[in-house]
């Protein structure tokens, strides 16, 4: 079945460091891909998305490119801040069975130190 695999955390970085969180997926058809973020004590919220191959999603300095050939959607940020400390979830929207189901990865916790 469809699935999402993302790198295990926690990831600990110093402020202004470069961030990459890897995400790969398995899906039939052409899923839409998402990154969600969960800040401490808050609900999940959309960070960015891409709906087709080679699309680049971006928001708040984060970017991810939909790579169909490698079935990947890695999250990157050039310079992280303490306020980016959160749990990041990669997700896909699959419609292969005629229904609309979102499948999430296990999450990667990011801790940014001042």
CA–CA separation, 73 vs 66, rounded Å? 5
Query: 3 vs 83, which CB is nearer to other proteins?
Result: 3
* DSSP β-ladder status, 108-113 and 11-14: parallel
CA–CA separation, 55 vs 39, rounded Å? 26
CA–CA separation, 6 vs 72, rounded Å? 10
> Residues binding other proteins: what is the number (CB under 8 A)?
24
In the complex, the smallest distance separating the C-beta of residue 79 from other proteins, rounded to whole angstroms, is 26
Query: 34 vs 62, which CB is nearer to other proteins?
Result: 34
CA–CA separation, 101 vs 43, rounded Å? 19
Query: 15 vs 54, which CB is nearer to other proteins?
Result: 54
Binding mask 26-65 for other proteins (x = CB under 8 A): ------x-x-x-----xxxxx--x-x--------------
CA–CA separation, 6 vs 22, rounded Å? 6
- Alpha-helix runs per DSSP H in the chain: none
Binding mask 70-109 for other proteins (x = CB under 8 A): -------------------x-x-x---x-xxxxxxxxx--
Which residues form the interface with other proteins (CB under 8 A)? 4, 32, 34, 36, 42-46, 49, 51, 89, 91, 93, 97, 99-107
């Amino acid at each position: 079945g469809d699935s999402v695999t993302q790198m295990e955390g926690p990831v600990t970085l110093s402020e202004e460091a470069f961030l990459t969180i890897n995400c790969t997926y398995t899906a039939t058809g052409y899923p839409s891909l998402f990154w969600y973020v969960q800040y401490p004590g808050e609900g999940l919220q959309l960070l960015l998305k891409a709906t087709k191959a080679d699309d680049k999603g971006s928001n708040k300095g984060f970017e991810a490119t939909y790579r169909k050939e490698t079935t990947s959607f890695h999250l990157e940020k050039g310079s992280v801040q303490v306020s980016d400390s959160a749990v990041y979830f990669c997700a896909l929207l699959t419609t292969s069975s005629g229904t609309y189901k979102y499948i999430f990865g296990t999450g990667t916790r990011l801790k940014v130190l001042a």
